[in-house]
Amino acid sequence: MRSHFLSKIIGIAVSSALVLCSFSPVGSIAPDVYDSFASCSDINLNERAIITWKENSPLAEHDILLNECNFDVEYSDSDFSIGIFRDRDSYNTIKESPYVYSIEADSALETQALTDDTYSSTQWWLENTGTYTKADPSGSSYKITSTEGIDIDARDGWPLYKSSIGAAHEVIVAVIDTGIDYRHEDLKDAMWINEGEIPDNGIDDDHNGYIDDIYGWDFYNNESSVCHYIENDDGTYTADPNDRDDHGTHIAGIIVARANNQTAISGIARYLHTRVMALKIHGGPDRKGSVSDAVKAIRYAQSKGASVCNISWGSYTASSALEAAIERSTMLFVCAAGNYGNDNDITPLYPASFDLPNVISVAYVDCDGLLPTESSFGAKNVDLAAPSTDIYSTIVGSCGYMSGSSMAAPMVSAVAAILSSLRSNIVPSSIKDVIINNTKPLDSLTGKCVSGGLLNLYRCLKAKNDLIRDREAPSFSWTRRFEGENIVLDFVTDDGEDGSGVNSLLYKLGKRSASDFARGTEGTLIDGDSLILQKGGKHTVYVYDNAGNASVTTIPVIDDKLPPSITDVSFTVNNKRNKFTVTAKITDNQSGLKSVKYLPGLHSVSDFLSDGTVLTPDSDNIISFKASSPGIYTIMATDYRGNKTTLPVRTFVRSAQSITLSETEISMFTDDSLVLEASLYPSFSTDLLTFKSEDEGVCAVTNSGTVTARGIGETTITVYATGGATATCTVIVKKFE
């Protein structure tokens, strides 16, 4: 690929265009005026202003309003009034009128050239008239024949944008690449500036881990300087060959080079609503980068509120970390499809080929609308194409030519930034859809990309009403449960029927604010909608959706501090009165029962740390154990949160002095049954009872006291206690008549 460069804005130099830099190895929100399409851009007093009246508004009301205000009328009709505001109150009064569609400052019109910038005639991608100017190494310029209309329709798009923006909000485009020349005349007023940082004081003022990060950060060299210069004796400067920051500077110029300043070129997003953030991850003579630095740069851009991220590099090795960083971001990622002439459906290039709703992949065409053999393509994995041959843009200390998908991606990034600036909280995937669905069809792109077309600013702006907004923060509910030794919080998230969808849930210990989560880049990710904790206390949960809306809630996670319960304790003695069976019910209604033990004697919890016989409860939570002698036995129960409880049980043998039956004489009919209840005195007697009928032909009795009549007659039932006490009951069975 041939590349030509100019050494300075009016001179000549030679450099090598980076077609695709590869890894080794691999603010404030504007008032909501857009739905009515009305806009009022602020003006300067004593300068000409244009009032556009709403359709069908009464002309008489125009005259009354103008006569009452200090507005010097130069021209007025039913649709427009042109003049000068002499005081701010007059401007505010007219601006608030229900008859006013817009007020805007008068602006100059350019003739012939698209802008008055020195090299606007080289920018065929903005307006292709069939020829464009090219400078050769000798310093002369010459015309190149091209195909008229192979451009992004910037001439028609810019006025449409200007009539739509109103008080548009600022949009940040993160350029993750080599560095950016922040001193460049065409870029210095378009750089993002970190307002939370004081320059050159050696202090991390905004506490984000980066010292003096004014324009962004150099992740390659781990320093604040995002461009590395060589100062020349004649007062000019060029890029340090050990860092080669021309590539990122070239990309920045395509996006935001300021227009009509009689300097160099005009960027596509040339208005002050777009700024570029410099995030350098490539450096060294070969401009190598790494996935780790890319991930850090993405997180930085996300934390600082960037809306669009330009990626003019790639790798054929898929990185799950890189994919996760992109997926968890609310930015739109505009990615170069590559310059290897590959079918990306067969040989994917990443991150351009990640199947994510916030990734858009860009191929490139030449000035005739043809897909160069070097451009990668893909009917499924490449979304659209943009112009990218002989692209003249800013380089460090100068301007120069580069070509390739590295230059196509920032054209799409610029259009994405323009769309994003129109309204707040636009869903990134809807910007992607508008861009893809409103391309200019080209035969050369049929079957080569999803859209089959070329990027078109004008068509995208005409379709701005298709942009989807999501202004509601997602919500969530939670429930607590215990799972073994852990506390588990289960979350159910909701972003509403028309929401952009929940992106991620994160948490931090203690009571926190939304700013502590740095737009989702700080905190611990809650995976699978369940948070597993080792202890209770306050935990703050942060949830955000794909449009950047977020909500934060501090949850008082109550731990299980109650020990298990030991109830229904009893024991029985065998007939020989020499063995005991102890039973109890063990329950824990929170974290659950972990273990049960017993020891002979009276014991404390510490005695069970290394001793004790383990007991296993049955399905009804009943435990039992055998004791061979009377005395004290201690039961200990432990739950999964470490709460413990003990209960002593005394076993003994005590004979009953007497037995009392509920009935001493019973009359029954055949086949009847009833329960004969026996009470021992004293009640804590350990005796077992045995029931016996003298004539089982008359009635039968069980050891639980159930009496069943079998035949007519009379018999005696005797109850025996193992200690010797007895009692009797007479039973008379009659025939039923």
User: Are 99 and 61 a contacting pair, CB within 8 Å?
Assistant: yes
Strand partners for 441: 453
Q: Cα(643)–Cα(640) distance, rounded to whole angstroms?
A: 7
498 by Cβ neighbours in 10 Å (0-12 / 13-18 / 19+) ranks as exposed
Q: Is the pLDDT of residue 300 over 50?
A: yes
**Cα dihedral value 195, 199, 201, 203, nearest 10:** 40
Q: Do domains 565-651 and 658-734 have the same CATH topology?
A: yes
* pLDDT value of position 18: 37
Using 50, 70 and 90 to split pLDDT, how confident is the model at 647? very high
Reference 429, options 442, 410, 416, 441; nearest CA is: 416
Q: Cα(280)–Cα(303) distance, rounded to whole angstroms?
A: 16
Q: Is the pLDDT of residue 14 over 60?
A: no
DSSP letter for each residue of 679-735: EEESTT----EEEEES-TTTEEE-TT-EEEE-SSEEEEEEEEETTS-EEEEEEEEE-
Reference 51, options 90, 89, 105; nearest CA is: 105
- Ramachandran area for residue 267 (φ above 0: left; ψ -120 to 50: alpha; else beta): beta
Catalytic residue, from 406, 421, 430, 591: name it. Answer: 406
Mean pLDDT value across residues 281-293 = 87
Position with higher pLDDT, 376 vs 90: 376
* pLDDT value of position 262: 54
Mean pLDDT value across residues 470-486 = 94
* pLDDT value of position 76: 75
**Domain boundaries along the sequence of the chain:** 5-17+114-466, 48-105, 475-557, 565-651, 658-734
Mean pLDDT value across residues 531-558 = 95
Candidate from 113-117, 277-281, 298-302, 707-711 with smallest mean pLDDT: 113-117
Which residues have C-beta within 8 Å of that of residue 502, sequence separation ≥ 6? 474, 493, 494, 495, 543, 544, 545, 546
Instruction: List, for residues 308-317, the tens digit of each pLDDT value.
Output: 999 999 999 8
* pLDDT value of position 114: 36
Q: Cα(166)–Cα(144) distance, rounded to whole angstroms?
A: 38
User: Are 478 and 505 a contacting pair, CB within 8 Å?
Assistant: no
User: Are 242 and 287 a contacting pair, CB within 8 Å?
Assistant: no
Reference 428, options 337, 500, 326, 497; nearest CA is: 500
Q: Cα(424)–Cα(436) distance, rounded to whole angstroms?
A: 21
> Any idea what DSSP says for residue 458?
H
* pLDDT value of position 138: 58
* pLDDT value of position 33: 23
* pLDDT value of position 217: 97
Whether 207 is a known active-site residue: answer no
* pLDDT value of position 169: 83
Instruction: List, for residues 562-619, the tens digit of each pLDDT value.
Output: 999 999 999 999 988 889 999 999 999 999 999 999 999 999 999 999 899 999 999 9
Which residues have C-beta within 8 Å of that of residue 264, sequence separation ≥ 6? 9, 117, 118, 119, 185, 186, 253, 257, 394, 399
What's phi and psi for 416, nearest 5 deg?
-60, -40
Q: Cα(658)–Cα(651) distance, rounded to whole angstroms?
A: 21
| Rg from Cα positions in the chain | 42
Catalytic residue, from 62, 169, 228, 247: name it. Answer: 247
* pLDDT value of position 387: 96
> Any idea what DSSP says for residue 657?
S
Q: Is the pLDDT of residue 109 over 60?
A: no
Strand partners for 537: 557
What homologous superfamily does CATH list for 5-17+114-466? Peptidase S8/S53 domain (3.40.50.200)
Q: Cα(601)–Cα(609) distance, rounded to whole angstroms?
A: 15
- What 3-state DSSP class applies to 655? coil
Whether 406 is a known active-site residue: answer yes
Q: Is the pLDDT of residue 17 over 70?
A: no
Which residues have C-beta within 8 Å of that of residue 497, sequence separation ≥ 6? none
Reference 257, options 280, 279, 274, 282; nearest CA is: 274
Give percent of the chain above pLDDT 90.
70
User: Are 178 and 284 a contacting pair, CB within 8 Å?
Assistant: no
In whole numbers, what is the pLDDT of the chain averaged over residues? 87
Reference 549, options 493, 471, 476; nearest CA is: 471
Using 50, 70 and 90 to split pLDDT, how confident is the model at 673? very high
User: Are 414 and 459 a contacting pair, CB within 8 Å?
Assistant: no
* pLDDT value of position 162: 82
Report field, pTM of the whole predicted structure over 0.85: no
Q: Cα(301)–Cα(308) distance, rounded to whole angstroms?
A: 9
Mean pLDDT value across residues 320-330 = 93
Mean pLDDT value across residues 410-419 = 97
Token representation of residue 190: 């378009």
Give me the architecture of the 475-557 domain, per CATH: Sandwich (2.60)
Which residues have C-beta within 8 Å of that of residue 516, sequence separation ≥ 6? 508, 522, 523, 540
Reference 617, options 600, 634, 592; nearest CA is: 592
* pLDDT value of position 12: 26
What's phi and psi for 691, nearest 5 deg?
-105, 140
Tokens 């004969």 label which residue? 676
352 by Cβ neighbours in 10 Å (0-12 / 13-18 / 19+) ranks as buried
Residue 472's identity, in one-letter code, is E
Candidate from 21-25, 534-538, 560-564 with smallest mean pLDDT: 21-25
Cis omega (within 30 of 0) for bond into 58: no
**Cα dihedral value 254, 259, 263, 264, nearest 10:** 30
Token representation of residue 85: 């505001």
Mean pLDDT value across residues 332-359 = 96
| DSSP strands (E only) in 418-535 | 440-441, 453-454, 475-483, 486-494, 502-509, 524-525, 530-533
Q: Cα(405)–Cα(168) distance, rounded to whole angstroms?
A: 29
CA angle 248, 253, 259 (to 5 degrees): 165
Token representation of residue 567: 């109830």
Does domain 48-105 fall under CATH 3.30.70? My reply is yes
Sequence length of the chain is 737
Q: Is the pLDDT of residue 196 over 70?
A: yes
- What 3-state DSSP class applies to 368? coil
Count CB neighbours of 534 within 10 A: 9
| DSSP strands (E only) in 296-357 | 308-311, 313-314, 332-336
| CATH number for the domain whose boundaries are 658-734 | 2.60.40.1080
Q: Is the pLDDT of residue 4 over 50?
A: no
Count CB neighbours of 11 within 10 A: 12
What homologous superfamily does CATH list for 565-651? Immunoglobulins (2.60.40.10)
Position with higher pLDDT, 14 vs 717: 717
Using 50, 70 and 90 to split pLDDT, how confident is the model at 426? very high
Q: Is the pLDDT of residue 546 over 90?
A: yes
Q: Is the pLDDT of residue 245 over 70?
A: yes
The enclosing H or E element of 422 equals helix 405-422
- What 3-state DSSP class applies to 361? strand
Mean pLDDT value across residues 450-463 = 97
Count CB neighbours of 359 within 10 A: 25
Using 50, 70 and 90 to split pLDDT, how confident is the model at 306? very high
Q: Cα(570)–Cα(564) distance, rounded to whole angstroms?
A: 18
Catalytic residue, from 117, 151, 153, 177: name it. Answer: 177
CA 34 to chain CA centroid, nearest Å: 27
Whether 228 is a known active-site residue: answer no
